[in-house]
A and B are shown apart, each in its own frame.
Chain A
Amino acid sequence: MTGILNGVLDGIRVLELGNQISAPFCSKLLADYGADVIKVEPPDVGEETRRMGPFVGNDPHMDKSIPFLYLNTNKRGVTLNFGTSTGMKVLTRLIVRADILIQNFTPSASAKLGLAFPLLNKLNPKLIVTSITSFGQTGPYRDLAATDIVTYALSGLMYHSGDSDREPLRNALNQSFYVAGVNGAVATTAALFQHLSTGTGQHVDVSTMECLASHLVQAIPYYNYMGATKGRRPVRGAGFEELMPAKDGYVIPSVQGSQPWSTVADLIGLEELQCDRFATGSGRIEHGQELNDLLIKGLAQWNRKALFQASGERRLVFGMAQDAGDLYQCPHLRERGFLTEVTHPVAGTADYPGMGPKLSEMAYKVRRPAPLLGQHNTEIFCDELGYSREDLAQLRALGVI
């Protein structure tokens, strides 16, 4: 590797302001690629996620929030109340030396905090400012109140989640904000690449609603090509390729791919399945109930993982329902180095999930666990910005840090 120490975004300075998931996940991704991320939190109470469970050992301590621990690895942390003019002066000094600022305050909160883009641009014309909000910087929904489920519903994606014979279903673990965060990272990196040619900063406006809506690549043309409204999945058991019970959990048998039905029937091992009736897609629909009953009978002899392994070896594309324990212990993920041991001074040690992709020129590293509150105040304010230790004590007494 030629001169790149930490990773692809080595030397890129990111300031993170905001709460909860979308901005922290966005800057976590940039940190994973090697950027130097400074997370700015309110003094004394810290960022809101510190109060979100689940907690390690069910102890609601500000350094034991599991979402916080996951979202904030590889970042340094400072405290700062930039609602005061003194605090704003300190923030300005951070802004002036940053390449990127990620924030997820609402447009009106952002303006009140003195973080409107024109102001930031004046302080640092090279700065890329990424604002992640529920609905974007403009438009009639701009100032609406939203949480994960509300954004998910308004994005059009929730309509297609869950079963067709009942209410739509919320997503898993606040996915709306994760989708917004990764899209924010995409747009920020596009701006960073553009910056190499232009030298100027810009405002990146991320709308969570629109990020999720972009998943609707079937539902939208279904309506505007032919006036049809696609819905949610038909109730379980109405066809092949749904969750089916095996001995110790659910599997998803599938016939997609190049293998013929006989391979599937052969794998499951029930003779009655080796039947021409089931050999075609239309046949499986026509004889759906019979197929369903036979599958339940055949799969009852199988443990999930053994069936999944056997299907993979035969180049079939079965799936299996896995839970957090299965994933944490997954031999495939472990072999690929996806989990890394991380020791946090308060929360303790665990293996943390890492990056999605594997990159040839950069090894994923957890350089540091999630920061304690204000852990890097001295390092950043004194060693890097030049405040004296006495200045720091005074800022602390004033409640600025």
Chain B
Amino acid sequence: MSSLPLSGIRVLDLSRVFAMPFCGAYLADLGAEVIKIDTHHTEFVDTTRTLNGPYPDNEPGEDYYNRAGTFQTLNRGKLSLTLDLRSSAALDVLKRLIGVSDIVLENFTPRVMRRFGLDYANLKSHRPDLIMVSNTGYGHSGPWSDFGAMATALEPTHGTGAFMGYLEQNAEGRLVPGSIPNKIANSYTDFLASWTAQLAVLASLFHRARTGQGMWIDMAMYQVGVSFIGEGLLDYAFNGHRTRRLGNRHESMSPHGCYPCRGTDEWVVIAVRDDVEWHSFCEVIQQPELAKDSRFADPITRHQNQDELDTIIRLWTSEQSSHHVMDLLQNRGVPTGPVLNAKQMLSDPHLRSRGYFEPVYHPDKSDLGRREYVGRGWKLSDAEIRIRKSAPLLGADNHYVLSQMLGMGQSDIEELLSVNAIGQTLSGAVTPTSVPLDRQAELGWIVEYDPEYKQFLADVENRDSCQESR
């Protein structure tokens, strides 16, 4: 087994929130040394340290900015250096650090980077082979380039909502393509940006190895989002079609949909691809006569009569558990699966067997103990890619970075401390008040609360150990 692909590569992660921090986390997983440029001043701190939570047992605690679960996921594997960029001494430190780093990730507005003298043109003169990702809502050029952006507003703007939405009833009571845009989970665009940035960075590293050249990567999340629905634009260009909102149906397959199962908010999806699967399906639901029913016997009429068919299917699935439906239909080779929630994901036998959720042991100070985090969607046979350490405590690596990487002496470090340019405690921190979980469930912020979750997760862990020792 070789060493990691990005061993010896140093990344300065100036970014905040979701998209670029997650990119930095994956570069850390790949073996890079990733320094998160944090700040210990509340006004400028990465909001995932302070706003989103979730906190262990919903208790933020005084040290809450080191205990937020989403932050921990997005920043695993990194070091933390706090720098108050309003201080010229801190800005100098940053510039020196850039001089000894390979990659910079940032998502400031173009104005801000210029103001700090950290725009690419400037940095390139100090470090000609720098690879830099600048991620913004609309990019560094074009009529909208100064517009701010935020993922929830961005997704409909880049058009995914044109191609997803519930069906609606027409005047005759038939279900027809819908008119209301919808969205993919939460902040889908952030992840598209993260994957896209990772690819751009890795390709640029390859390019630099062959040519010695750096790269500036100007990412407009808006443009990135559109590049994933390119097919839709061509359907407009060639055919004048503007939207395609089919609910859970498919252009050609039927039945195809999401059906309710026994339990609260339990659903199963079924996709029947051809007549062979259709016959198997009818046998499984113990209505073989449906297969020859003139409404459903051939794929074209079956597709036209989905309203009736879906009603029949719903009656059947409502009596079953979603996992049972999957077992029955997958045994016959029919594509089927339950709509899993997070709890079911954490205990899913396939994901456990794949080691998808990776355990991380946290420093005592944050009192997080052992937690599991999402890994990544791929494995390399020649490198063991995994989360190598927890997300950093605020400013935990100040001394290490300043003395080991920049060779700063004790008195210089103390100078930075004295002007409050660096620190390890969030100044002006106000522990957030948390809304009790049963109240959150009442308000509809969460679906439900499982007070036995620790036992549930311990049981999952135990089952894993039993499997391993076989």
Query: Is B231's CB under 8 angstroms from A317's CB?
Result: no
List chain B residues, Cβ under 8 A from A236. Answer: 180
Q: Is A220 on the interface with B (CB-CB < 8 A)?
A: yes
Closest Cβ–Cβ distance, residue A285 to chain B (whole Å): 9
Instruction: Place the interface of chain B in its size category.
Output: 35 or more
Give chain B interface residues in 204-246, CB to chain A under 8 Å: 204-207, 209-220, 222-224, 226-244, 246
Q: Which residue of A lies closest to B336 (CB)?
A: A150
CA distance A70 to B234 in the complex (A): 8
- B378 adjacent to A204 (CB under 8 Å): yes
Tell me the complex Cα distance, A250–B157, Å.
10
In the complex, besides A221-B373, A317-B148, 12 extra interface pairs with C-beta distance below 8 angstroms are A138-B353, A160-B185, A160-B186, A183-B195, A193-B6, A207-B354, A210-B356, A225-B371, A250-B161, A257-B150, A332-B144, A350-B234
Interface of B is mostly: mixed
> Is B99 an interface residue, CB under 8 A from the partner?
no
CB pair B159 A162 closer than 8 Å: no
Residues of A within 8 Å of B72, CB to CB, are 221
Encode contact with B along A149-164: 1 for CB under 8 Å, 0 otherwise.
1111111111111111
- Interface status of B338 (Cβ within 8 A of chain A): yes
Cross-interface CB contact of A158 among B74, B269, B333, cutoff 8 Å: B269
In the complex, 27 of the A-B residue pairs with CB atoms within 8 angstroms, ordered by the A residue number, are A138-B353, A156-B344, A158-B185, A160-B185, A162-B182, A168-B267, A173-B163, A173-B232, A193-B206, A204-B379, A205-B378, A213-B351, A213-B374, A214-B375, A221-B69, A223-B346, A225-B53, A228-B446, A229-B449, A319-B154, A321-B162, A325-B242, A328-B236, A333-B223, A357-B223, A357-B224, A359-B218
Quick check: B375 and A210 within 8 Å, CB to CB? yes
Check B377–A204 contact: CB distance below 8 A. Answer: no
B293 at interface by CB-CB < 8 Å: no
- Smallest CB–CB gap between B428 and chain A, Å? 17
In the complex the two chains form, is A153's CB within 8 Å of B260's CB? no
The 3 closest A-B pairs by CB, nearest first: A221-B69, A211-B377, A319-B153
Tell me if B195 and A186 are in contact (CB < 8 A): yes
Selected contact of B181 from candidates A158, A175, A321, A354, CB within 8 Å? A321
Contact A154 B340 (CB under 8 A): yes
Per the 8 Å Cβ criterion, residues 182-199 of A in contact with B are 182-187, 189-194, 196-198
Stretch from B297-305, B380-388, B415-423 forming part of the interface with A? B380-388
Interface residues of A in 225-253 (CB under 8 A from B): 225-231, 233-234, 236, 238, 241, 243, 250, 252
B379 contacts A205, CB within 8 Å? yes
Query: Is residue B440 within 8 Å, beta carbon to beta carbon, of the partner chain?
Result: yes
Tell me whether B392 is interfacial, beta carbon within 8 Å.
no
Report if A327-B154 is in contact (Cβ < 8 Å); known contacts: A54-B235, A146-B337, A226-B58. Answer: no
Contact B54 A228 (CB under 8 A): yes
- For residue B170, CB closer than 8 A to chain A, the reply is no
Cross-chain contact B342 with A336 (CB below 8 angstroms): no
A376 at the interface (CB under 8 A from B): no
For the complex formed, measure the closest distance between the CB of B96 and the CB atoms of chain A, giving whole angstroms. Answer: 23
CB neighbours of A234 from chain B (8 A): 444
The residue from A66, A202, A222, A257 contacting B382, defined by CB atoms under 8 A apart: A202
Interface size on A, residues (CB 8 A): 153
Interface: A278 (CB within 8 A): no
User: B320: CB under 8 A from chain A?
Assistant: no
Q: In the complex, are the beta carbons of A361 and B338 less than 8 A apart?
A: no
Tell which of B85-93, B404-412, B451-459 binds the partner: B451-459
CB distance from A7 to the nearest CB of B (A): 9
Q: Mark A301-314, 1 if CB is under 8 A from B, else 0.
A: 00000001001100
Docked CA distance A187–B379 (Å): 8
**Measured between alpha carbons, how far is A327 from B181 in the docked complex, in Å?**
15
Rounded to whole angstroms, the CA-CA distance of A197 and B154 in the bound complex is 40
User: Is A357 a contact of B217 with CB atoms below 8 Å?
Assistant: yes
Is B399 in contact with chain A by the CB < 8 A criterion? no
Contacts of B204 in A (CB 8 A): 8, 359
Q: How far is the CA of A326 from the CA of B157 in the complex (A)?
A: 10
B residues near A226, Cβ cutoff 8 Å: 54-58, 437, 449, 453
Residues of B within 8 A of A179 (CB): 191-192, 195, 377
Residues of B within 8 A of A381 (CB): none
Residues of B within 8 A of A254 (CB): 150, 152-153
Task: Annotate A17-29 by CB proximity to B: 1 below 8 A, 0 otherwise.
Answer: 0000000000001
Residues of B with C-beta under 8 A to A385: none
Most-contacted residue by chain A among B155, B207, B252, B371 (CB, 10 A)? B207
Docked Cα-Cα span, A337 to B143, in Å, equals 12
> Is B247 in contact with A178, judged by CB distance below 8 angstroms?
no
Kindly state the separation between the CA atoms of A8 and B253 in the bound complex, as whole angstroms.
40
Q: Are A183 and B70 in contact (CB under 8 A)?
A: no
When the two chains form their complex, are residues A322 and B157 in contact, meaning their CB atoms are under 8 A apart? yes
Q: How far apart are the CA atoms of A300 and B58 in the complex, in Å?
A: 41
CB of A383 within 8 A of chain B?
A: no
B49 within 8 A of A: no
Q: How far is the CA of A180 from the CA of B165 in the complex (A)?
A: 22
Map CB proximity to A onto B131-156 as digits: 1 under 8 Å, 0 otherwise: 00000011101111111111011111
Cβ distance B430 to chain A, nearest Cβ, rounded Å = 15
Q: Indicate if B125 sits at the interface (CB-CB under 8 A).
A: no
Contact A316 B236 (CB under 8 A): no
Closest B residue by C-beta to A230 = B446
- Residues of A contacting B259 with CB < 8 Å? 167
Q: Do B143 and A331 touch (CB < 8 A)?
A: yes
Distance between Cα atoms of A336 and B136 in the complex (Å): 14
Question: Which one of A70, A180, A222, A360 contacts B342 once the chains associate, using CB atoms below 8 Å?
Answer: A222
A294 at the interface (CB under 8 A from B): no
> B56 contacts A225, CB within 8 Å?
yes
Q: Are A221 and B70 in contact (CB under 8 A)?
A: yes
Min CB gap A143→B, angstroms = 9
Q: How far is the CB of B150 from chain A (nearest CB, A)?
A: 5
B425 lies within 8 A of chain A by Cβ: no
Our pick among B58, B183, B210, B374 for the contact of A217 (Cβ within 8 Å) is B374
Distance in Å: Cβ of B243 to nearest Cβ of chain A: 5
List, in ascending order, chain A residues with CB within 8 A of B230's CB.
Answer: 70, 352-353
In the bound complex, residues from chain B placing their C-beta under 8 Å from that of A223 are 342-343, 346, 450, 453
How close is A9's CB to chain B, nearest CB, in angstroms?
6
Task: Choose one: A162, A172, A250, A325; the contact of B229 (CB below 8 Å).
Answer: A172
Of chain A, the residue at the smallest CB distance from B356 is A210
A371 surroundings in chain B (CB, below 8 A): none
Q: Are A175 and B228 in contact (CB under 8 A)?
A: yes
Q: Is the CB of B227 within 8 A of A229?
A: no
Interface centre among A162, A228, A321 (most CB of B within 10 A): A228
Residues of B within 8 A of A150 (CB): 269, 271, 335-337
Chain B residue nearest to A191 (CB atoms) is: B380
Q: Which residues of A330-361 are within 8 A (CB) of B?
A: 331-333, 335-336, 338-339, 347-348, 350-361
With a cutoff of 8 Å between Cβ atoms, the chain A residues found around residue B195 in the complex are 179, 182-183, 186
Determine whether the beta carbon of B382 is less than 8 Å from that of A2: no
Q: Is the CB of B74 within 8 A of A217?
A: yes
B74 and A336 within 8 A (CB) = no
